[in-house]
A and B are shown apart, each in its own frame.
Chain A
Amino acid sequence: MSDGDERDVAPRSLHETPAPAAVDPSEEPPAASAEREARWVADHTSETRDASPALGTHGEPAAWQRAQPGAPVALQRDRWADAAWSFLYKHDTRYGDAPADLEAVAQANRRGRGGEIGPVHGPVINAPVWTWEVPLYFWFGGVAAGSSFVSLACDLGGDRRSAAIARKVALAAVLPAPPLLIADLGRPARFLNMLRIFKPRSPMNLGAWSLVAFSALAGSAVAADVLRRPRAGRAFGAANAVVGGYLGSYTGVLLATTAVPLWARSRLLLGPIFVCTAAATGAAATRLTLVAAGLPDGHPTRTALGNVEAGAMMTELTLATLNERRLGRAGRSLEEGTPGVLFQIGKWSVRAGLALRLARGPLGPRAHHLASLLYLGGGLAFRYAWVGAGRTSARDDEAVARMARGAVTVDDDRLGRRREPRLRSTLRRPLTRAGAVGAYTEAVRRASLLVERALGRSEPTPGAEGTGRSVDSGH
C-alpha cells in the first residue's frame, strides 16, 4: 500500500528543507501589464478553469428546500437575534467606548474623502462587457433614424417618390438591429424580458421600446406605400421621424448614464454627436439608394441630401472637437490604442468626404458618391471608437478616481463641483404589482424561460429560479 509506505517516512525538518529549485523563467509573470492581463484572461477561460459549482448554478444564491414547510432554522434565534450586532464587541469591551458624535463623524468623513489623493489601487469600476455587435447596432439604428428624418423632409419638400424610398431604407436599416442586440445579450433566449416592464428611467429599456415602435412604424409605412395608401404611408413616416429622434440619440444617453469617465463627462454632447452621425449616415445611405434608383443629378432632393450629410458631419466634427477640449484627462482614451486609431480614421474619412464634395466640380458626381460612402464608413468608425474608448476609460483608474474627486474637491478645474442629481429615487412611480400589468410581467418572464428551455439552455436545478415570481421595483 502506497499510503502505508508514505507514513513510514519521517517528516523532514524545516531546517533541512533544500533550497528551492531555480525558478523557471516561464513561471515568472510577464513584465508588461498587457501581457499579464492577457495571461489572466487565458487562465480564466473555460478550457483551463473549472467553473462548475458544487451545487446549483453560478450567478445566483443557493437553492434549497426546507424539509418542513414554515419550520424555523434549528439552533438559531429568530429575527436576526444571533447577528445583533456583534458577538465580540459587547459593552464590556473598549471597541466603541466613545459617545457617538455625529458632527465629528461628518467632519472626519469630509477629511477622509476630501484629503490628499494617494495612489489609486484599482480597479475602481468594471469595464463595459459589450462586444462588437453593440457599435454595429448603434450604426444601423443611426442609419434608420437618419433615413426617417430624410423621409419626413422629402415629404415636406414635395418629393413623394424619394420619401417612399427613404422609408424603405429606414426599414431595411432597422431590420438587422434586433438580431444584433439579441446576440450581444448574455442570455439571448431571454430577449423578451427587455419588454417585460416599461421603465422610463432606464435608457436601455426605453431604447428597446423605441426600437419596437420604430420597426412597427417603418414596416407599416412601407406596407402602406406598397398597398398604395400614400397618406397612411406619410403619416407613419412622420410619426417615425419623431421616434427616430429618440432611436438615433438614446444610444448617446445610454453611454452617458454610466460611471465611465469618458462617457459620463461627455453627457451633454454625446447625444448630439450621435444624432449628427445618425443624420449624416442616414442621409448618405438614402442618397446612394436614390441615386441607384435613378434620382437625376440636379434634383433638389439630391442637392438637399448632399447638404444634410455634409452639414451633419461638419457639426459632428465641431462638437467632437469641442467635447475633447473640455474632457481634459478623461479624453485621453479617445486618443490611445485601437479606439484612438478608429477615431482618427473616422475623422479623416469625414474630412476626405467633405474635401471631395468641395472638389466635386472637376471630379464629377462620382466623387460625391465616394463622399457618401466615406461618411458611412466614418460613422461606423466613430461608433466603434466611442464604445471601445469607454472600455479603456473604465480601466483608467486614475481618470475614474479623479472624476469622483471632482465631485468632492476642485483639484482639477475642468471637473467642477458636484452636480445635484436631477432624478432622485424619490421620484419613482409607485409600484403596480397587481392587475393586468403584473400578469403581463409574469407572462413575459415565463415566456422567456420557456424559450430558453426550448432552445436547450434550461436551468439545471428545479426550484433555482430566484424568487419564483415576478417582482419589480418602482420605475
Chain B
Amino acid sequence: MTTHASPTEIAVDRADAKRMGFFTDTTVCIGCKACEVACKQWNDLPADGAQFVRGGSYDHTGALNAATWRHVRFVEVAEATPQAREDAAERLAAGAGGRLPQIPANGGRAASDGAPDLVSIAEAGANGGVDVAAAVAAMDEWVFMSDVCKHCTNAGCLDACPTGALIRTEFETVVLQPDVCNGCGYCVPACPFGVVARDHEDGRAAKCTLCYDRLQDGLEPACAKACPTDSIQFGAYDELVAIAARRVGELHARGIEGAYLYGAGDDPDEELAGGLGAFFLLTQPPESYGLPAQADSPIQENVVPATAAAFGAGLLAAAGAAAAFVLAGRRPLARGPRGLATRAAIRRWQR
C-alpha cells in the first residue's frame, strides 16, 4: 500500500489503516462553532476565558491555541461594498431609518473611532435605531472558516520535536504524546500555520489529534460529527480529495470562480508542506484566513544549509583562533630592558 507520508515515519502498525483527513468546505460553514464546542467536550479542554468585547469581533475565540484545537475564524471583511452602501443610503432616504452599516474591516481588532461596532448595532437595532435587516444584508462579505491542525505531510512540529513526543500515526496524522512532551516549546515557532501552542498552566504543548482515540475505534472525529452543515467532512484522504475537486468544479460552474483548494490538488512542486491531511476549500486569498500562501516544514527547508554554514563557521572560528596564536607566538618581542622584563615574566608564567 502506498502512503503519502514517508513510510519510515509511520510509528504505529495497523494493516487496515490509511490516510484519514478533514475536508473543510468554507462555502457551507455557518460559523456556529459547534465544532469548537464538540472538540472541547470530547477532549476535555478547558475554557480559555474568551468573552465578547465591545468593539471587538464576534469571533471571541481569536486563534487556535493549546486549549482550542478547532477554531472557527470569522473573516469580518464586512466593510460594506460600494453597492451595499448605495442601497442602504437609498433605504435611508426612503425613510427606513437607521445609520449606514459600517463594520471594522480588520477583524474588529482596532475599531475605528466613532464607527458603531456589531454589538451596538444589535443593541440599537433592538431599540429600533437601526435597520438590522439592512445591516445584515450588507454583511455579505462575512466568511467563516473552521481552522484546525493541518496534519502536514512534511510536518514542521514533527521534525522539530526533540523528545519524540510528536509522532505520525497509522492514519498518517500527527499526534502529540502528552506523556512524553516536556514542554520545550520548539514545535511552537516551527509550525508554519500557528497551530501548536504551549499551555502556560499545563506546561506542555497541545494540538488537534484528529481524535486519534476515536479513530482507533472506527468513529469520526468529534468536530466532524457535530458539524450541522457538513462543512467539516471526514474520511479517507484520497476520497476527500476527489470530492473536493468535484465541489470546486461545481462552484466554478455556478460562477464562483474564486473557489480553490488550500492544501490538496496542487502540482507536486507547488504543494503546501507536501500536502495537507486537513485541507480547505477557500474563496478569499489565504491571508484573509490567516493562512500562509506557501509553507513547508521550516526544518526540511533550512536545516541543511543553516547547519553547514553554522558548523563551518564554528570550525573556521577554531582555526582562526589557532592561527592568531601561532602568529602571535612568532612575533618578536620588544628589545631593550622592557623586552627583557617581559621575557622574564613569560618564563615565570611558563614554569
Contacts and interface: CB of A to CB of B under 8 A. Distances in A.
A448 B182 CA distance: 9
A187 B183 contact: yes
A196 B164 contact: yes
A154 to B, nearest CB: 6
Contact of A125 (B161, B189, B349): B189
B252 A98 contact: yes
Interface stretch (B8-16, B82-90, B94-102, B132-140): B8-16
A51 B185 contact: no
Contact of B242 (A54, A100, A397): A100
Interface in B72-127: 73, 75, 77, 105-107, 109-111, 123, 126-127
B315 interface: yes
Interface residues of B, number: 175
Interface string A229-262: 0000000000001101110111011101111100
A68 interface: no
A98 to B, nearest CB: 3
A421 B296 contact: yes
B278 interface: no
Interface string A267-284: 111111011101100010
Interface residues of A, number: 193
26 contacts: A46-B201, A50-B46, A52-B46, A53-B46, A61-B44, A76-B218, A99-B249, A106-B267, A109-B260, A111-B260, A112-B262, A121-B289, A125-B193, A145-B314, A153-B325, A159-B350, A185-B182, A193-B165, A197-B164, A204-B162, A244-B318, A246-B314, A268-B309, A421-B301, A424-B154, A471-B11
A86 B289 CA distance: 24
Contact of B44 (A56, A249, A296): A56
Given A109-B261, A297-B345, A312-B317, 6 more contacts: A50-B47, A61-B44, A87-B230, A118-B285, A149-B321, A254-B186
Interface string A181-207: 000111110110110110101111100
B245 A102 contact: yes
B118 to A, nearest CB: 13
B265 A295 contact: no
Contacts of A84: 235-236, 239
A115 B282 CA distance: 13
A249 B290 contact: no
B295 interface: yes
A473 interface: yes
A311 interface: yes
Contacts of B49: 43-44, 48-49
Contact of A429 (B8, B203, B299, B328): B8
A224 interface: no
B205 A53 contact: no
Contact of A422 (B56, B167, B304, B349): B304
Given A28-B54, A85-B235, A272 B313 contact: yes
B246 A404 contact: no
Interface string A12-45: 0010010110010001110001001000000110
A122 B177 contact: no
B298 A88 contact: no
What 7 A-B pairs come out closest when comparing CB atoms? Answer: A186-B183, A271-B310, A98-B249, A186-B203, A245-B314, A83-B220, A112-B260
A205 B248 contact: no
Interface in B247-301: 247-250, 252-253, 258-262, 265-267, 270, 274, 282, 284-301
Interface string A96-124: 11111110111011111111111111111
A403 to B, nearest CB: 8
A60 B45 CA distance: 8
Contacts of B333: 298
Given A153-B325, A208-B162, A471-B177, A259 B289 contact: no
Nearest to B203: A186
A267 B313 CA distance: 13
A253 B261 contact: no
A108 B239 CA distance: 20
Given A112-B285, A421-B301, A194 B310 contact: no
Given A119-B77, A119-B106, A194-B162, A249 B291 contact: no
Contact of A474 (B8, B181, B234): B8
A53, A86, A120, A297: most-surrounded residue (chain B CB, <10 A): A86
A156 interface: yes
A61 B213 contact: yes
A98 B250 contact: yes
A44, A51, A259, A422: most-surrounded residue (chain B CB, <10 A): A259
B67 A80 contact: no
A128 interface: yes
B310 A88 contact: no
A425 interface: yes
A472 B8 CA distance: 11
A390 interface: yes
A213 interface: no
Nearest to A160: B350
Contacts of A158: 329
B204 interface: yes
B303 interface: yes
B290 A127 contact: no
B190 interface: yes
B261 A421 contact: no
Contact of A157 (B294, B301, B325): B325
Contact of A472 (B167, B250, B328): B167
Given A20-B123, A154-B325, A259-B189, A186 B249 contact: no
Given A89-B230, A119-B77, A407-B293, A187 B203 contact: yes
Contacts of B233: 85-86
A156 B318 CA distance: 11
Contact of A57 (B189, B202, B259): B202
Contacts of B32: none
B287 A121 contact: yes
A89 B49 CA distance: 36
